[in-house]
Amino acid sequence: MTVMNDKNSGKRAARARLAEQRAKEAAKAKRKRGLIIGGAVIAVLAVAAVIGVVVQNDRAGSGAYASPRGTVGAGGLMVPVGSPAAKAVLMVYEDPRCPACGGFEKGFHTTLNQLEKAGKVRIEYHVVSFIDRHDNGSGSKHAAAALGCAQNAGKFHDYHDVLYANQPLETTDPWADRAALITLAKKVPGLDTPAFESCVNNGTYAGWVSAVEQDFDKSGYNSTPTVLLNGTSAYPTYNGQSITPASLTAAIDKIDS
Amino acid sequence: MVTAHETVQGGGGPVGGAPAGRPRPGWARVAPWISTAVRLGLAVVWVWAGSAKIADTAAAAQAVRAYRILPEALVKPFGYGLPFIELALGLLLLLGLGVRVVAGVSALLFLVYIAAIASVWARGISIDCGCFGGGGAVAASHTAYLQEILRDLGFLALCGWLLWKPPGRLALDSWVSGEA
């Protein structure tokens, strides 16, 4: 009886040892599998990141683009209006779809046009297009590119004023349809030519528009209109005073004299 | 005891659930399916977040730049690379491959995002987080930092569940380990 018991317990102990060893091996295999899977996951993520950077860099393009005739500044990003000799320079960042820009234009474009015709001020326009990102759509980009086409035809300022006079609500995006921009071009005598239409429809200045926008992105200014009079912010306040057509005229006259 | 346990598991092996000596048959059956649902939910979040940031490269860069944390030289690598990492995380979750590691990386990423949003908030900068596309400066009245952080904390909780109970049913992980 005792012998039998010893024999049984010996067998049991051997079985237990075997089971223990198997469990150890299984645990080891599981750890190994976990390490392999973990490494593979990290590798997949790293490859995805590299692919993303390479593909997107390629898609973002080399940065080569055509600027409209007569643009100035580094990269031809600014559209100048008025006498190059004017001592007062108003730098304006405007988005065609931005309602606050519409407000600025409504309040000041008559005054500015008079000052510009009198040779007292030169305006340098940066036509930016970030509203498309905020509110979705493509109206800002299309309008900015059409403004480039108008600049190329020598009729930027008239077309600019027509667009702001007919600005749609920010929440709607009728200028996503380029035909609407061509229809508005008919209000500017001599602008609506076959060359202008194909320039608008082909997005000839789309690359220029995104270069202007990227320059704005990096400028640190983050809203439109941003208006600088000889480098000093001039809208909605200038030197701490709320700006009006009269005070803007006085400030420009002071610089001019 | 062991036999009963295996019957409950449907012979599926020790997949999560009942601790030894305290079997909860219902829980053992339900928990892996909850993991599956969490996995798929998080996969949708990542795929959505990643793909929304791929079409417009300039917007992707500007969304990163607007945080004013990274130097200009790193703006594009992050703006271009992160969406693809998010997409890859989503696809791995969908497949159920390396779920625990993917959940860990996801949690880390959400912690970074929460910290970045909190930092922007603390510095008084007004931006859209650009979490699901878009991004960049917005009017101060249009910021939604609290909602953005709470949302990311919710996603973080999903990661926590997956770290605790990976990989759930219908996962390639189970197939790889021969437990499917």
Instruction: Pick B65's closest partner by Cβ from A49, A59, A217.
Output: A217
pLDDT in tens, A60-90: 876 789 999 999 999 999 999 999 999 999 9
Q: What angle do CA A58, A63, A64 make, to 5 degrees?
A: 115
CB of A236 less than 8 A from some CB of B: no
The CA distance from A255 to the nearest CA of chain B, in Å, is 33
Percentage, residues of chain A above pLDDT 90: 80
With an 8 Å Cβ cutoff, are A44 and B88 in contact? yes
Which pLDDT score is estimated for B16?
A: 45
Question: Is the pLDDT confidence value at B147 over 50?
Answer: yes
Matching residue, tokens 């941003």 = A226
B101 within a domain of the structure (yes/no):
yes
With an 8 Å Cβ cutoff, are A37 and B92 in contact? no
Query: Which residues in chain B have their CB less than 8 angstroms from residue A209's CB?
Result: none
With an 8 Å Cβ cutoff, are B80 and A56 in contact? yes
Question: Is the pLDDT confidence value at A98 over 50?
Answer: yes
Nearest residue on chain A to B101, alpha-carbon basis: A38
Please count the residues of chain A: 257
pLDDT in tens, B83-111: 999 999 999 999 999 999 999 999 999 99
Which pLDDT score is estimated for B177?
A: 77
The CA distance from A236 to the nearest CA of chain B, in Å, is 15
The CA distance from B29 to the nearest CA of chain A, in Å, is 23
Which pLDDT score is estimated for A73?
A: 93
Percentage, residues of chain A above pLDDT 70: 97
Question: Is the pLDDT confidence value at B9 over 50?
Answer: no
- pLDDT interval class at B82 (50, 70, 90): very high
Give the mutation candidate from B47, B53, B56, B57 for the A interface (greatest A CB count, under 10 A): B57
pLDDT in tens, A16-56: 999 999 999 999 988 888 889 899 999 999 999 999 999 99
Question: Is the pLDDT confidence value at B31 over 80?
Answer: yes
B12 within a domain of the structure (yes/no):
no
Contact of A48 with B87, CB cutoff 8 Å: yes
Instruction: Pick A53's closest partner by Cβ from B54, B72, B80.
Output: B80
Which pLDDT score is estimated for A60?
A: 85
pTM of the prediction? Answer: 0.78
Contact of A196 with A154, CB cutoff 8 Å: no
Which pLDDT score is estimated for B54?
A: 93
CB of A50 less than 8 A from some CB of B: yes
B120 within a domain of the structure (yes/no):
yes
SS (H, E, C) chain A: CHHHHHHHHHHHHHHHHHHHHHHHHHHHHHHHHHHHHHHHHHHHHHHHHHHHHHHHHHHHCCCCCCCCCCCECHHHCEEEECCCCCCEEEEEEECCCCHHHHHHHHHHHHHHHHHHHCCCEEEEEEECCCHHHHHCCCHHHHHHHHHHHHHHCCCHHHHHHHHHHCCCCCCCCHHHCHHHHHHHHCCCCCCCCHHHHHHHHCCCCHHHHHHHHHHHHHHCCCCCCEEEECCEECCCEECCEECCHHHHHHHHHHHHC
> By residue range, what is the domain housing residue B136?
34-176
B9 within a domain of the structure (yes/no):
no
Task: Give me the number of domains chain B comprises.
Answer: 1
Nearest residue on chain B to A221, alpha-carbon basis: B137
Dihedral (C-alpha) B131, B136, B139, B142: value to the nearest 10 degrees? -10
Instruction: Give the C-alpha separation, A200 to A18, whole Å.
Output: 81
Question: Is the pLDDT confidence value at B114 over 70?
Answer: yes
Which of the four CATH numbers 3.30.300.210, 3.40.50.300, 3.40.30.10, 3.90.245.10 does domain A74-256 have?
3.40.30.10
Please count the residues of chain B: 180
SS (H, E, C) B66-133: CCCCCCHHHHHHHHHHHHHHHHHHHHHHHHCCCHHHHHHHHHHHHHHHHHHHHHHHHCCCCEECCECE
B5 within a domain of the structure (yes/no):
no
